[in-house]
Structure 1
Amino acid sequence: MKKLTALALAAAAISTSALAAPETYVIDGSHTLPRFEYNHMGYSQQLSRFDKTTGSVTLDRAAKTGSVDVTIDTTSVSTGSALFNQHIQGEDFLATEKYPTATYKSTKVVFDGDKVVSVEGNLTLKGVTKPVTLSVVSFQCMPHPMVKKDACGATATAKVKRTDFNMGKYAPYVGDEVTITLPIEAIKQ
């Protein structure tokens, strides 16, 4: 009987450690299109996006830890106007010739129960790295009905100042504060 109890405890310990293993999800670039929004001279809120994003999300839901690593191809900026895309990619703003990517690397993933509620990390944009906390406004993990694999999705937001990243041309007329919205969908490896 003692042998059977010890075997059952060993099996439980192994299955518990298997449940606590980190899971890595690869970002689905066709459903991860970061957006940025700013005030244009008091007339309107302008909304643009980036069309190419790569990266990964690692979660250990049992341990309530994780990491996020996102790379945005800044040459994929999409404003709705080819001429304005070139303007935004210029030296005064994204300077994509010298800095073709922006990155976000987490330092901490914060959980409330089973849900991710924020991600603390560092945003590198135009060669400048600053701490940025993403507020997660939605988070869901479940089997993906089309790819037949587990998937996680989230929408996160943050506010940054253009001037903090050496992109302050036309401020304050063109708003210094930029709202970043990062919708992520990622498929388990």
Structure 2
Amino acid sequence: MNRIAKLSAALLVSFAAASPALAAPEVYNVEGTHTFPRFSYSHFGLSTQLSKFDKTTGTVTLDKVAKTGAVDITIDMTSVNTGFDVFNGHIQGEDFLDTAKYPTATFKSTKVTFEGDKPVAIDGNLTIKGVTKPVTLKVTHFVNMPHPMLKKDAIGANATTTIKRTEFNAGKYAPNVGDEVTITVSLEAIKN
């Protein structure tokens, strides 16, 4: 009996010593004034057009010890900013974003791939105009550090993917106006 008690105590001490290393996932809220999904495409082969969305919300979940994460983002498609008010309205029409029916787009991750301590790819489902397709965001920059001004833990990241707009029922004028659209996200998120 004494031997079992010693073994139980040893296991309890071992578990207690290991438990600080078992970190829980941490949730970060997207900081909308420093998060901008941008998109670019070829305009008749004459130029590459660049536009962005001004309103983005969501969360990033990060477990540093387990090296897992999750991303859940909502983009307000009515906040599209092409740099020209008339074109903002045009691109929100039925042939393109159709924001009257589909005012938001979403990205929900299904897997985050790490190399060392940093995520390098995020697989997930992108929904635009009610159409959901799997995409992989390549993470080109990632940092997790205390925010210098807010004094809270923060995440900063840049990621990119390429989609075909015809697959999301937004293909008017393709292929003259490029079907391939590169989406680049600059994101900052602050820990709850």
Q: TM-score, normalization: structure 1?
A: 0.95
Letter in 2 for 1:62: V
Alignment correspondent of 1:12: 17
Mapping of residues 62-73 of structure 1, within 5 Å: 62-73=65-76
Match of 2:90 among 73, 87, 91: 87
Letter in 2 for 1:43: L
Range that drifts further, 132-141 or 2-11: 2-11
Gaps of 5+ in 1: none
Alignment correspondent of 2:111: 108
**Secondary structure at 2:36 match in 1:** coil
State whether residues 21 and 65 of structure 2, in contact with CA within 8 Å, keep that contact through their aligned partners in structure 1.
no
**In the aligned structure 2, how far is the partner of 1:113 from the partner of 1:90?**
44
Letter in 2 for 1:15: P
**Secondary structure at 2:33 match in 1:** coil
Alignment correspondent of 1:173: 176
**In the aligned structure 1, how far is the partner of 2:110 from the partner of 2:8?**
44
**Secondary structure at 1:175 match in 2:** coil
Q: CA offset at residue 6 of structure 1?
A: 6.0
**In the aligned structure 1, how far is the partner of 2:50 from the partner of 2:8?**
65
Mapping of residues 43-58 of structure 1, within 5 Å: 43-58=46-61
Q: CA offset at residue 126 of structure 1?
A: 0.6
Residues matched between the structures, number: 187
**In the aligned structure 1, how far is the partner of 2:100 from the partner of 2:7?**
69
Q: CA offset at residue 4 of structure 1?
A: 8.7
Rg larger in structure = 2
Gaps of 5+ in 2: 1-5
The yes-or-no answer on 1:182 pairing with 2:185 is yes
1:26-45 Cα deviation digits (max 9, x unpaired): 00000001100000001000
Mapping of residues 20-169 of structure 1, within 5 Å: 20-169=23-172
1:142-172 Cα deviation digits (max 9, x unpaired): 0001000000110000000010000110011
**In the aligned structure 2, how far is the partner of 1:85 from the partner of 1:76?**
8
**Secondary structure at 2:159 match in 1:** strand
Alignment correspondent of 2:3: none
Letter in 1 for 2:180: E
Query: What's the Cα RMSD here?
Result: 1.6
**Secondary structure at 2:32 match in 1:** coil
